[in-house]
Amino acid sequence: MSDLFAFDSAGMTSDDAFAEYRQLYASGSDVERLGSPFFARVRSWRLDRYLLFARDYGGVRHHRSTRITSDGFDHFVLHHVVSGKLSGGRFGEPMPVLPGETLVLDTREPMESGAASVELITVSLARDAMLAAVGDVSGLHGHRISAQDGALFGSLLRELVRQASYLAPAAHAAITRTLVDLISVAIRPAGSAARSDFYRQEHVRRETVRRVVDTHVGDASLSVQDILAATGMSRAALYRLFEPQGGVARFIQMCRVEQLRRRLDDRGLDGVPLAELAPQVGFSSESHAGRLFKQAFGISPGAYRAASISGARSSSVEMMVRLWDSALSELA
């Protein structure tokens, strides 16, 4: 699992620490101080299409209300409380979430969360993965999973945090499937319905295609026929599966863009020019790669690499924000 960023208010003045913390979360939520002393420690990782955060914080409240109409967020957030007490839920209707319990929030809906002091593990999960887990996500916003129903899910999260830095990329797909299955058990302890089984099968098929594309990303001639041969899917099923992403060809392009971004974050490849990296991920030219990269991330590959190098040399909050924003865009 790849590290995303880390933040620690220790050693900073309270005002400076809160200012940086608020800047870190500015793209995702509004942040305000509470009456209790402020502190925050955050570690984060990226695995497939979900983000994992281990957080201790206090004296702060996060909320999303009017911004939901403009920021385009379209994923789910699950807050699993390890210790302390979280206050959160629908905006203006917070409820206590105690150790062992998990709060489910939909970023399309107004929400809030905060605490005087809490330790929690947070998962940001793509909507299609949540559909795979439960089928029908209507009414799920603000749902509180009990400690008993979510025991297996919570155990997996705690172990993921302990093992996050050691997980091999080849294990990511299996871990993601397990995560989805345990969310299903936590939210639907009596068993999943046929609809969630259908979405789960769709999710597995989509991730199977993603692995095929990632494996052959350097093959510029990779075609729909190659994917069909590798997966055994029908052409109609494949086209239907990726229609929401703009089609199979568009999906392949976005996989290539993501693979290029990972290479630009690899310090061992800093001496390799974009003209050499582009064909490694299947682009026909440097200009083609640069155009699609900027469309996806709003920044040129060269500027992104420079910022990534700078971020590796310093733990600036600006670089943390850039990394988080890029990761969140992958959940859409």
The pLDDT score that the predictor gives to residue 133 is 86
Same domain, 22 and 101: yes
Query: DSSP readout, 40-65?
Result: EEEEEEEETTEEEEEEEEESEEEEES
pLDDT tens column, 176-204: 889 988 999 999 876 666 566 777 778 77
The pLDDT score that the predictor gives to residue 68 is 86
Same domain, 148 and 262: no
Do strands 118-126 and 50-58 pair parallel, antiparallel, or not at all (unpaired)?
antiparallel
| Structure tokens that stand for 7 in this block | 């933040």
Distance (Å) of CA 17 to CA 106, 237, 275, 325: 28, 50, 41, 20
3-class secondary-structure state, position 321: helix
Instruction: Find the helix or strand (DSSP H, E) in which 324 lies.
Output: helix 317-329
Same domain, 168 and 314: no
What CA–CA distance (Å, rounded) separates 289 from 275? Answer: 9
The pLDDT score that the predictor gives to residue 321 is 65
What CATH code is carried by the domain that includes residue 262? 1.10.10.60
Same domain, 220 and 126: no
The pLDDT score that the predictor gives to residue 87 is 98
The pLDDT score that the predictor gives to residue 2 is 63
- Answer whether residue 198 is part of any domain: no
- Answer whether residue 208 is part of any domain: no
What CA–CA distance (Å, rounded) separates 202 from 131? Answer: 10
The pLDDT score that the predictor gives to residue 142 is 96
Report the candidate in 59, 75, 9, 21 with the shortest Cα–Cα distance to residue 317.
Answer: 21
What CATH code is carried by the domain that includes residue 110? 2.60.120.10
- Answer whether residue 318 is part of any domain: yes
The pLDDT score that the predictor gives to residue 70 is 77
- Answer whether residue 202 is part of any domain: no
The pLDDT score that the predictor gives to residue 172 is 79
pLDDT tens column, 80-136: 999 999 999 999 999 999 999 999 999 999 999 999 999 999 999 988 888 888 888
The pLDDT score that the predictor gives to residue 331 is 60
* Range of the structural domain that residue 298 is part of: 216-332
Distance (Å) of CA 265 to CA 57, 138, 261: 29, 37, 6
How many domains in the chain?
2
pLDDT tens column, 302-314: 888 887 777 655 5
CA 313 to chain centre: 24
- Answer whether residue 207 is part of any domain: no
Same domain, 244 and 316: yes
In this prediction the pTM is 0.78
3-class secondary-structure state, position 75: strand
Same domain, 157 and 259: no
Same domain, 83 and 145: yes
Same domain, 44 and 156: yes
- Answer whether residue 66 is part of any domain: yes
- Counting as low any pLDDT under 50, the low residues of the chain are none
